[in-house]
Structure 1
Amino acid sequence: MKRNILDFYMHFRARHEESIEERHEAFANNMLNLPTPLGWRGLKIPPSPDCGEYLGASFDIEYPVRGLELQGRYVFRGETYEYEDEATYDDKVWITFPTHSQHLDYREMLHQHLARAMEAFGGYSAHGYFNGYVVKYEDLHGAEIQALRNRPGVDVNGRNNIFTLNVTQYWDAELCQRALGYGRDEVIKRLTGKVPLVRPLMDGVYVVFNDNPDLTFEEFCAYNDRLKPVLGLQ
């Protein structure tokens, strides 16, 4: 059987006024309060990383569950380093795990644990990438993607745009308004009954678009084609 993988990427708008040390401490304290399998209680917590000569600082956590990984990267906070309004300049944490595991319930991970991790991170967006389907999907829509990239100020699948509906998503209030033109309550209204889960989270909305651990690429394309118009996306 093919080994399917989910990569859950969480994004936070980096701020000069909040140091990497402060950011890491807040995240670590929040993760300590989470239940297993993602909670950090009893684990070796990595210290706040240092950028050194680079524009980013990375860390990782070792979980006892085979195949479950968490890594993160903070953006350099130097006063002279100018951030642009793009996801490239985000702090990021990503959680990776196989969709078939003797020790993880895939549906429970999507419906509960990843949402808790997102709240602990306090970011503005999250994307659950299933088997790299996003790359294949956007290759099929290359002309549309390129047209978006040619438009000034558009951050494709970033801070102000939604193109692909990955299996799990989180959009905060600002991203909803910038990318959709309406708030989370309208997202919930439009998607209720059409997806496995849609609910409020922080000031935004958390959505599970598909929770099938054996999702095919054709099924991925099909639900994108069906639900993007529901949200008013091209």
Structure 2
Amino acid sequence: MTDPDVSGGTAWRRIADEIAAAIARGEHATGDTLPAATALAERYGVHRHTVRQAFRHLAEQGLVTVSRGRGTQVSPRRVAYPLGRRVSMRANLGRLGLVGSSRMLSAAQVDGEAEICATLGLENGARLWRVEGLSLADGTPMGTGTHWLSVARFPDFDAAFRDGGASMTAALKAYGIADYVRLSTRLTAKLASGREAELLEIEPGAPVMVSVAVDALPDLTPIHLVSSVFAGERMEMVVEPFAE
């Protein structure tokens, strides 16, 4: 089958634009499953690969989520997540009217790599906590992160993190740290690995944002490094350098 060209763009773009307009009009609600690629291909008189290209474009725009076994579903609105001097996932999501939650995935003590130890002001090879967690908004996975902290400074951190509901803010309060600040955040992008895709419930190879951040005490002593991966179709980072 030869896909017809249409005035003003290719066939896949026309299909994507029409679906996006239907979502904007409320014809497809959040969580709705769109018709299968084969059904839409028949409707538009195109090859199913053309429809799949339209779906990929919509996913890149954050409008749909394409998942094996579940089809193509209308995504929740993309979360505009603020990055300021103080970064608390649950507090920031709460300001956006979303309920934030977290789960601890794993925790282990390891010999710290040179770069991580240097960032935290520790000797090379110092014992570190390596703790993995998953962050959700209204029950939807948004990001997964690996946290690094000093074992000497934070004994039994695995228990504190678990008992605090996988909240870094709650875990640090267990050690008398009521306030901490963001020293730096480095943002890059990549394609999701198989495990990242499984945790975030996205397609392997989907675009994800990578954040490497360092938190410190108010006197700017670094205490925490976290490397996170966020679903690009669900999150956008808004840099607010003067925000608290």
TM-score class normalised by the smaller sequence:
under 0.3
- Report which of the two has the higher share of strand: 2
Structure holding more helix per residue: 1
Q: TM-score, length-normalised on structure 2?
A: 0.23
